[in-house]
Amino acid sequence: MRHLPVPKLPTIAEWSAKFRPKGALLSPRATLANIKTAEKALQKLNIPHPEQVTAVELYPGLGTWTTAMENAGFKHIITLENNPKYAKWMGDLAKGSEGVVELLKKDGYDWETYLELKKPEYIGNLADNDWSRVHPHLFFTGTLPKTAKGEQLLAQFASCISNRMAMHSMGRIQMAMWMPEALYQKFTAPPGSVSRCKMSIVTEASASIESVYTTKPDDMYPNTQYHLVSVLPLEKRRITAQWDVFEYVLKHLFVMQRQPLSKMIK
């Protein structure tokens, strides 16, 4: 099994000086900064036959999660990083990986990125339309920003499962996303919870989710708590209504929460 040399991670003070964006209104994008945490979390995911799997990773940051996947024997890791400072760091990491890690300076938030990924030189030849099984050769993962952008992205991924768009146009692909506490509470909110939202209902209709691992605050830069959540698309979604009708009704239910239910349904 290959072992990518674990990069010497900066201290949080060094990271703050080098990677924090300039400007008081700009918040730094969180990155996993503890390789042991990454390795433990990956073991709990229990990905079968990683030597046959290509991972597509969003926002790798310092590449700690990337390194854990490489050392677990993943066949190929395509990592999407468009932040210039993180991209420089990831480019250096990729150079030492003997071709296992491939850096694309793209943003996972952009629709065009997924069109690019479907080219034959990336994952275009790995499409599998057999939804009776979980895709044996693709894995979708990453670390979501602690911003509205992170929530919007996760909500889009939830809709893409049932609509079979973006990554899920390639098959029934397991996802595992690192997400901040506030987003985790919304995404996993059960019925009756005050955090319940359109995104959590859409996800429940089309996938099973499992909380895999929770970091300690100092495992992340900046120090904050993140959760790794596995999202496994269902072979058949749990609703029989037309999907656009389902989403339309949900949208109005949550936009008009203070109105009587009879009015919202009309």
> In terms of C-beta density within 10 A (0-12 exposed, 13-18 middle, 19 or more buried), how is residue 118 classed?
middle
Sign of CA dihedral 185, 186, 189, 194: positive
Say if residue 32 carries a ligand binding annotation. Answer: yes
CB-facing half-sphere around the CA of 211: CA atoms within 13 A: 14
Cα 104 to the chain's mean position, in Å?
16
Pairing of strands 207-214, 226-233: antiparallel
Say if residue 235 carries a ligand binding annotation. Answer: no
Neighbouring C-beta atoms of residue 97, cutoff 10 Å: 19
- Partnered with residue 140 across adjacent β-strands are 56, 175
Say if residue 125 carries a ligand binding annotation. Answer: yes
Say if residue 107 carries a ligand binding annotation. Answer: yes
Q: What residue numbers does the annotated binding site cover?
A: 32, 81, 107, 125
Q: What residue numbers does the annotated binding site for S-adenosyl-L-methionine cover?
A: 32, 81, 107, 125
